[in-house]
Amino acid sequence: MIVFFLCITLNSVLVSGSSLSDKVDQTPADIYKEQGQTAIIYCSHKIDNYDKILWYKQLNGQLQYLGYLNVNTGYPEDGLNVTIEGDGNKDKNSTLTIKSLSESSSAVYFCAANYHSYEAYFGQGTKLTVLGDEVKPPTVTIFPPSPNECRNQKDKKLRKKTLVCVASGFYPDHVGVVWKINGNEAKDGVATDSAATRVDKFYRITSRLRVPAKDYHTASNTFTCIVNFYDGNDTIPYDNSTYGIEGKAEGGITREKYLKVTQGAKLSYVVVIIKSCFYGVFVAFLVWKLQGSARKHH
């Protein structure tokens, strides 16, 4: 019953972004450990009257209840090799200790402040990775939009271009992706995979940025994909950039082609003018010759 309650509460909090959840502080955000070591996660809150801390593990979308702290007494679930200690009251600290870590311990762990049958409010989560391989940073690649994208969109103002950023070859999967346009973080049109996908020993994550076609067809615009990778000590940014391509959206003429056409037209015009001048001079010469012949006959 309590697991069912936790599932409902977690969903409501994550969707609504409750202000009371902002009063629950959970640290650290990321933990790397070797097999056999111990991990400690801390939780505190600033909610009046709340005196219980619930703990659980989230793996592959499933919640596993780990136990709870009632005021200052911990009640961990049997057989999970965890210890729950501290004080559940406002401005106090509670800890979850996970012992004898194995690769199966890798998951996201949450704490939640609670009071009797009132709603529980969750912390930000702690991502624990028990290392099985050597830490390796990502390689970041940006793929340009497809030339066929939005060709069938008649309204030019609605035309969009999609840039794709792929971060690959990294381990473990503690990453976050941010897009920037001309140095400013892009909020609209960004879609990133909800989680990295494991490919053999490493991970891969994809993010997409949709921008107005006219913005992509502006050579002065810079599009940057930043992958923030936690290496166990620090969060390090790895990035790659691409630039807009000068020209109009599909269905129009590019600037390069326009310049070639106009230059060709100018050259043709100059040639016509020169020919006309020569023709005018030639006609004038013929008239002058004919007038000279007429005078001689008179």
Divide the 298 residues of the chain into consecutive groups of 10 and give the mean pLDDT of each group.
40 44 92 95 96 95 95 96 97 97 95 93 95 93 88 69 97 96 96 93 96 94 97 94 76 48 54 57 56 54
pLDDT of residue 254: 47
Say how far residue 89 (Cα) sits from the centre of its chain. Answer: 37
Question: How far apart, in Å, do the first and last CA atoms of the chain sit?
Answer: 129
Of all helices (H) and strands (E), which one includes residue 226? strand 222-230
Q: How far apart are CA 259 and CA 215, in angstroms?
A: 20
Predicted structure pTM score: 0.66
pLDDT of residue 26: 97
Nearest to 248 by CA among 222, 223, 217, 221: 217
Alpha-carbon torsion angle 104, 106, 112, 117, nearest 10: -20
pLDDT of residue 3: 41
Of all helices (H) and strands (E), which one includes residue 146? none
The pair of structure tokens assigned to 87 is 């004080």
Half-sphere exposure of residue 141, counting CA atoms within 13 Å on the CB side?
8
pLDDT of residue 17: 43
pLDDT of residue 287: 53
Nearest to 47 by CA among 79, 19, 23, 71: 23
Instruction: Tell me which amino acid residue 137 is.
Output: P
pLDDT of residue 60: 84
Task: Evaluate whether 165 touches 207 at the Cβ level (below 8 Å).
Answer: yes
Angle at 204 between CA 198 and CA 209, to 5 degrees: 145
